[in-house]
Structure 1
Amino acid sequence: MLHRPDAFNARCPTRQVLDRIGDKWAVLVLILLEQETLRFNELRRRIDSISQKMLSQTLKSLERDGLISRRAFPTVPVTVEYSLTPLGRTLAGTVAALTQWAEAHIGEVEEAQRRYDRGDIAA
């Protein structure tokens, strides 16, 4: 018997997907790969302050979820490129929209944070 996914249920596997797309590093990788195929070091250079270890973990998780693909070339050293899969492309636009919202509304969010920190009750 198939059960309908319910992200509010703690055992629902959709929570893993939500965890992945709620991760800032995964979001940034998906946005960059929506634009073009990139190598590991290109991703690392373009995502300010991500460590090599964190980028590696993020890429492995996204690959495991079927959102990106990894292609290795037999060079010395090995060249590896990452790109979105068709499934990843279906998510990348949504993630990009969230990022655009954040960029468009960061001033309002920061102002709300300042009001909250001052103890102002009115929003």
Structure 2
Amino acid sequence: GQVNAEMIGYKQFSGVGGQVDFVRGASRAKGGKAIIAMPSTAGHDKISKIVPLLDEGAAVTTSRNDVDYVITEFGIAPLKGRTLRQRAIALIKIAHPDFRDGLIAEFEKRFHCKYEG
């Protein structure tokens, strides 16, 4: 649920662009929800935007504590108030299908249990 919107590894490719301000403003507004909406892939479907860990050197633009929902073309992952395991399951469900097996393998390695999402 952490969001990197500005770096690829150690290389900065864009600025924050007010993302943190909008996310925090939305979450603090009466009835507001902080939503990160994005396509599930980049690079003509060759790179998953949902990953088990951010690349080494990548900045955390928006903390996992500030994100209520992540949305892709495959659905909505409710994250607020969820455990790390629950968050991982929700994110795997909205990842591009071509990348889910790899995400599931990392889930099982990290949490020492079978994925039953």
> Normalising by the residue count of structure 1, what TM-score does the alignment of the two structures yield?
0.23
Whose radius of gyration is greater, 1 or 2? 1
Higher relative contact order (CA 8 A, sep 6+): 2
Larger fraction in helix: 1
> Normalising by the residue count of structure 2, what TM-score does the alignment of the two structures yield?
0.24
